[in-house]
Chain A
Amino acid sequence: MLSNKTTSSAVRSAINALQHYKVLNTLTNDCFDKALETEQQLSIEKKNNSPLYGRPILIKDNFCLRDTLTTCASKMLANFRAPYTSTIVQRLIDHGCIIVGKTNMDEFAMGVASWGAFGPVANPWSLTKTTMTNVENNKTVLHVAGGSSGGSAAAVAANFVSIALGSDTGGSIRNPAARCGCYGFKPSYGLLSRLGMVALVNSFDSPGFFARNIDDLIFATNAVAGPDDEDATLLSKPFENFKTSNELSKEKKKIIIGLPDDYDVNTLSSEYRLCWQDLVHRLTETGEYTFKRVQLPYTPYSNAAYTILSSCEIASNMARYDGIKYGHHTKNIDKNKDTYEDILKKTRDESLGERVRGRILAGNYYLLEENYDKYFVQSQRVRRGVMNDYKKVFEEDKIDCLLAPVVSNDPITLAEYEQADDIFSEDDIFTVGANLAGLPALSFPVRLSSKGFPIGLQLIGPFLKDQELLSTAYRICSTYQFPFLDLTKQI
């Protein structure tokens, strides 16, 4: 244990907290030594004007950082040290951020429990439940932190760091943000470079941030957004920084918020529905908001379309993992018998988890010549339907943004999750729409449930109206106080 030389070392505090709360399993691997070195260097060098200068941050372990393990919580990449740094991460480093470690996640970002090859992330709120202990071993019962960016969400929610980087393909930022009780922002597709972010579904993947206030989301996004001449899917227009709460005009125009009927599904618990309704009432009372019920008729099909399209791209993106260039390679080789195909099969069987293999299998099925039209192309048509639903609501019905749930009930325990059999979560219905349409979406905590877990909601905005979305979120969240967790106080 390194001794605490300077009392005001932000990095040291982060390290202490992360080590103290190892039980939450938020990290796959750490960069503690380098972080402390960097902090020293930055304090000597000339400070740049970035509000992020000197801030310790965490990045999800599917972002490449040069010479650092980038595992995607998979056995396949357990030994993979990236020879390059992703654009987003490099821009954060250039702004003076100090990377303290890589956060735990679902294997290759598939799932809603952040349970990969290195075990699950635990919801930090589990530790506040002193009444919940396991009868058998007297240990605290742990709950899922959501996924797939659970490690980043948990660390921010518990105040180990103030900002963490994640990725959202079907809800992987918004879901854990809602479960852990912090802000999670997925910008419009095409604003943030995906170079160096291990691809899950290229068409839907979006890097994004967790924070404890909206201004920090803005600082972080401003530091990284904009064109990258190595990512052909980005908008080529130069990026204009988002304005923070201070910079925005104080004039408050009336905001029209849509409530999608199609998101009010049976699986939504009455407690979580009530939270949604209560917020609507409260905001209506301020006189600054009008709420309209809106229809998104393609919603029931969006999950199927998402499932098919994502499986196809996943099967394709996973084809590179053969152990020849990097990553896990089987040692179980019969030199006299094994062909290239045999070795390939063993390598992938041994190192890719069950969920990953399931998606690959499904994707390869949908991509067969005879199935392509029926599944892939048809799903793209449904996707266009989903996009047009949103477009119509925003443009014709003049809606500024939508307010909707993110998850339907309190998180289950890790033990319950292990027993469960389902591959897909019913909660996906709330989040995949924004990914299919490339829209900006922001998850924010509202209040605690009766069992003491955060209940979060999300705002979904029109394409490229990220600034308006952030401003609206700020305004809404200023009308109440959410009891953010701070586990560092107890060290």
Chain B
Amino acid sequence: MAATAAAAVLSSGRFYALIGFEIHVKLATHSKMFSSSSSAPAQTTNSQVTPFDMALPGSLPYFNRTCLEAGIRAALGLNCQLNKISHFERKHYFYPDSPAGYQITQQRYPFASNGVFHYPLLIKKDKLKSSTKYKFVDNQNSFVIKQCRIERIQLEHDTGRSIHDDHQNRTLIDLNRFGTGLIEIVTKPDIQSSLEGESFLRELNRLLIKYNICEQSGLETAVRVDANVSLHRMNTKPDGNRIEIKNLGSFIDVRQAIDFEIKRQEQLLTNNYSIKNETRTYDTNKYQTIHLRRKEDQIDYRFMIEPNLPPLYLYDDNDKHIYGKNFVNIDDIKRNIPISPLDERKQYLDKYKDFLTAEHLHELLRLDMIDYFRDVMTHLDNNHLRHIALEVLLSDVKSISYDGRKIRKFAQAVSPILFADIIKHLEKRIITRFSLYTLLTLCNKSRDSTRSLKSFLDEHNMYAINDENELEKICLKILEENPKQIDRYKTNPKKALEQLHTSVCKKYHGRIHDDLVNDVFKRLLDKRIK
């Protein structure tokens, strides 16, 4: 497995890895960056195309203000310096999905640079101890927080979409996507493993969604990642060479591609080959990176200042001459920006300190359950209920959602209100703790997310048996069916009760309260003995 191989390479102490990312984020704006057509995804082919989007002769770009505002929010969230003057440039290359023969981007003069982003390392604490040289903070209330410096953020637009039709040997072009606003975030190579890489990207994703920079949509991936990876012998200086891996579409792909590369480069270094600049692509079927082009074949993009767009000027409160005018003010945006995910988690730790620890929060993060947790908490009004909810989230829900992988689907099917209702019922002992797994699974499978809890309980008869008389009748029946246990009780009461408990639970799936039934059995058996 690539993961263990890569981990072995890194923990051997003979090598270290430098990893950086170039992340393309699709901005959540209504219209495109330089034209007025809609940027909504999944529309009829070529229905959202203005003259500029198809590079008609005589067409001109006009910059979309909301793209700038989204970009500034990203820069602030990543603690970047905002460059008050920046420029748009043309990046030239020929490709059918690029109608003008160039892309408008910011190469030499980006609008933001020199930032730093802190992110929690997502690993089970027991695994942390065994993996390489990470500083293990043995503190109940803290995460392992790492940092990655941000080199720059630039504004640019997306290309069209190429659809390869191998049957008819042709490529079809859809220009709906052409021109939609992007920011490209370029990090410094501060990431040192695939684990750090995934942790960084997950936290970044949280920030981008929270700050309304991109959308979390099932229709299109809002975030595309290129990774730069280079492995070096310990105690040698990096020579600047690195492998670029393009177009990684998911967190898993990023992890696997990095791990594969680390192992591959280790082989090269061990056999005394040096790492030369190269561009590779990731094959998701074979879990490998594949060569695309060498350094000598690298394209010269002939960057040139975009003459149809004036320099981009940013203003803040110090620029008095903009008062009263409708210019974008960085300080205004700063004042209105939401709290960062990092700070928000600190708030939770404080607010729920009666029962919530950093370890809990870490696990919720790892399972991608933070938002669901937050929403559930708001529907429960005391810490006792909240504590129960947390426990259920970290056990039953974790399992039902396949360790968090299907948490989004779960959150849709089992709304936070419904979940809160279940917890309240549990606390009131209307249902038992053991019925939760089945109940939650049923709710998760249901297509109707508006169904009431009562309808589920009624349909599947999941109410706990709280009536003493009824319970006694049931227990008597069980005793009748299990005469061996009656005898056993005399010599090994504990084991007998266990077996009886097992039997009754088998019959009345999840409707039995442990303590109640135990008391009843004890009472009945003791009576018998007398």
Residues of A participating in the B interface, judged by any CB pair closer than 8 Å: 62-64, 70, 72, 77, 80, 82-84, 86, 194-199, 201-203, 229-233, 312-313, 315-316, 318-320, 322, 324-326, 335, 340-341, 344, 364, 367-369, 372, 376
Contacts and interface: CB of A to CB of B under 8 A. Distances in A.
A213 B90 CA distance: 42
Contact of A313 (B100, B101, B307): B307
Contact of B302 (A231, A232, A340, A367): A367
B92 A77 contact: no
25 contacts: A70-B58, A82-B56, A82-B57, A82-B58, A194-B58, A195-B58, A196-B58, A199-B57, A203-B307, A232-B62, A232-B310, A233-B309, A312-B304, A316-B101, A316-B302, A318-B101, A319-B92, A320-B55, A322-B96, A324-B173, A326-B56, A341-B94, A367-B92, A367-B302, A368-B300
A201 B305 CA distance: 13
Contact of A340 (B62, B96, B101, B169): B96
A488 to B, nearest CB: 32
Contacts of A198: 57-58
Contact of B61 (A63, A72, A232): A232
Interface centre among B92, B101, B307 (most CB of A within 10 A): B307
B189 interface: no
Interface string B89-121: 010101010011110000000000000000000
B56 A83 contact: yes
B56 A84 contact: yes
A324 B46 CA distance: 14
A30 B58 CA distance: 20
A84 B51 contact: yes
B88 to A, nearest CB: 10
A202 B92 contact: no
Given A202-B308, A316-B102, A231 B60 contact: yes
B323 to A, nearest CB: 18
B99 A324 contact: yes
Contact of B101 (A63, A83, A322): A322
B115 to A, nearest CB: 26
B63 A324 contact: no
Contacts of A62: 57
A77 B300 CA distance: 28
Given A198-B57, A203-B307, A340-B96, 9 more contacts: A62-B57, A70-B58, A231-B60, A316-B92, A319-B92, A319-B94, A322-B94, A340-B171, A369-B303
A195 B302 contact: no
B501 to A, nearest CB: 72
Given A83-B51, A319-B102, A197 B58 contact: yes
Contacts of A83: 51, 56
A368 B302 contact: yes
Contacts of B304: 312-313, 316, 367, 372, 376
B54 interface: yes
B302 to A, nearest CB: 4
Contact of A232 (B60, B90, B94, B96): B60
Contact of A195 (B60, B92, B171, B303): B60
A191 B81 CA distance: 35
B55 A325 contact: yes
Contacts of B301: 369
Interface string B56-88: 111111110000000000000000000000000
Interface in B38-62: 51, 54-62
Contacts of A86: 58
A67 to B, nearest CB: 14
Contact of A229 (B62, B90, B94): B62
A70 B57 contact: yes
Given A84-B51, A316-B92, A324-B173, A233 B308 contact: yes
A378 B171 CA distance: 41
A8 to B, nearest CB: 35
User: Mostly helix, strand, loop or mixed at chain B's interface?
Assistant: loop
Contacts of B90: 316
Contacts of B308: 199, 202, 231-233
Nearest to A228: B60
A106 to B, nearest CB: 16
Given A202-B308, A319-B94, A369 B57 contact: no
Contacts of B171: 340
Contact of A320 (B99, B307, B309, B310): B99
Contacts of B58: 63-64, 70, 82, 86, 194-199
B54 A325 contact: yes
A230 B62 contact: yes
Nearest to B58: A196
Contact of B57 (A77, A201, A322, A335): A77
Contacts of A203: 307
B303 A372 contact: yes
Contacts of A326: 54, 56
Nearest to B94: A344
Interface in B150-208: 169, 171, 173
B66 to A, nearest CB: 16
Contacts of B60: 194-195, 230-233
Given A233-B310, A364-B302, A376-B304, A64 B57 contact: yes
Q: What are the 9 closest A-B residue pairs judged by CB atoms, nearest first?
A: A319-B101, A367-B302, A202-B307, A320-B55, A198-B57, A196-B58, A203-B307, A320-B100, A64-B58
B397 to A, nearest CB: 50
A195 B35 CA distance: 13
A203 B90 CA distance: 14
A80 B51 contact: no
Contacts of A70: 57-58
A367 B101 CA distance: 14
B57 A80 contact: yes
B306 to A, nearest CB: 9
B70 to A, nearest CB: 19
Nearest to A344: B94
Contact of B99 (A202, A313, A325, A376): A325
A408 to B, nearest CB: 30
Nearest to A64: B58
B383 to A, nearest CB: 56
Interface centre among B96, B171, B173 (most CB of A within 10 A): B96
Contacts of A201: 307
Interface string B225-236: 000000000000
Interface string B349-375: 000000000000000000000000000
A194 B61 CA distance: 11
Contacts of A376: 304
A320 B90 CA distance: 13
Interface in B478-511: none
B513 to A, nearest CB: 70
Nearest to A312: B304
Interface centre among B57, B96, B300, B309 (most CB of A within 10 A): B57
Interface in B114-130: none
Interface in B269-301: 300-301
A372 B92 CA distance: 14
A232 B63 contact: yes
Contacts of A372: 302-304
B309 to A, nearest CB: 5
A316 B303 CA distance: 10
A196 B50 CA distance: 13
Nearest to B54: A325
A285 B405 CA distance: 91
A361 to B, nearest CB: 12
A70 B63 CA distance: 27
A107 to B, nearest CB: 13
B262 to A, nearest CB: 31
A325 B97 CA distance: 11
Contacts of B102: 316, 319
B98 to A, nearest CB: 9
A62 B58 CA distance: 8
Nearest to B309: A232
